Amino acid sequence: MEAKKISKSVLKRLPGYLAYLKNMPENAPTHISATALANALGMGEVQVRKDLAMVSDGGRPKIGYLREALIEDVRLMQETLTNCDQIDAEMQSLADELSILAGLLRKCIEQNASTALDQTDYADRYESLMRRYDSASKRLRELDKQKEERTNKATLIGGFLFELMERDQPLEEFDDHLWLVTIDKVIAHHDGRIVFKFQSGLEVAA
């Protein structure tokens, strides 16, 4: 799946979609529409429709999404947005290239210091090596930033939440750590009302 630009708010909602889809009864329809999903989760239909369009292209008018295919698309989107294997491989290749270029630069300087080289030729060679070194260094910094962004997305999208949502057995006791990663914020109003806002966007007033 091609990587897409997905906002943090969408990423936060994906685990909620996955949880609902996976916990639907066995005799539930094989297809589900954005409207049905929005109603079930108490969310806006337009928002859900946009979110699903970012994740899957399997939606069909008046039919909706094949439920199992949509579950797989959500998982695949998580993998696409957070996997760093290709980035790691390119970073390692660039690190090796930088090591070689550093050696060539050092050798170039040493030769110029010990041998009467044509200074024009020396300058051209040195500048060529430095351009390659600077280019590789810039690319390495870009990849490092990309990796950091993907790592942050992996945390945000809830690698831990996805694991939780896919458990076969329900939790039977309160887990404060799970509560902390599930909740986004708690708002206490002057009239005594407390609103719990979850990572999925769901709000519950108490």
- Write down the pLDDT at residue 2: 47
Give the pLDDT band (50/70/90) at residue 55.
confident
The pLDDT tens digits of the residues spanning 1-44 come to 444 567 777 777 887 888 788 888 888 889 999 999 999 888 88
The two three-digit tokens of residue 112, written as one number: 């110029």
Residues whose CB is less than 8 angstroms from the CB of residue 53 and which lie 6 or more positions away in sequence, other chains included: 59
The closest of 55, 51, 49 to 72, measured between CA atoms, is: 55
Domain map (residue ranges) of the chain: 8-82, 85-150, 173-205
C-alpha distance from residue 172 to each of 23, 77, 111, 169, 175 (Å)? 16, 30, 72, 9, 9
Pick the CATH number of 8-82 from 1.10.10.10, 3.10.20.30, 3.30.420.270, 3.90.1640.30: 1.10.10.10
d(CA 159, CA 143): 22
Strand extents, DSSP E, 65-145 = 65-66
The pLDDT tens digits of the residues spanning 97-127 come to 999 999 999 999 999 888 888 899 999 999 9
d(CA 10, CA 194): 24
Residues whose CB is less than 8 angstroms from the CB of residue 141 and which lie 6 or more positions away in sequence, other chains included: none
Mean of per-residue pLDDT scores for the chain:
80
The pLDDT tens digits of the residues spanning 80-100 come to 777 788 899 999 999 999 999
- State the DSSP string of 1-26: -------HHHHHHHHHHHHHHHTS-T
Please provide residue 184's backbone torsions phi and psi, each rounded to the nearest 5 degrees: -95, -50
d(CA 148, CA 193): 38
The pLDDT tens digits of the residues spanning 160-185 come to 455 555 555 555 565 555 555 556 67
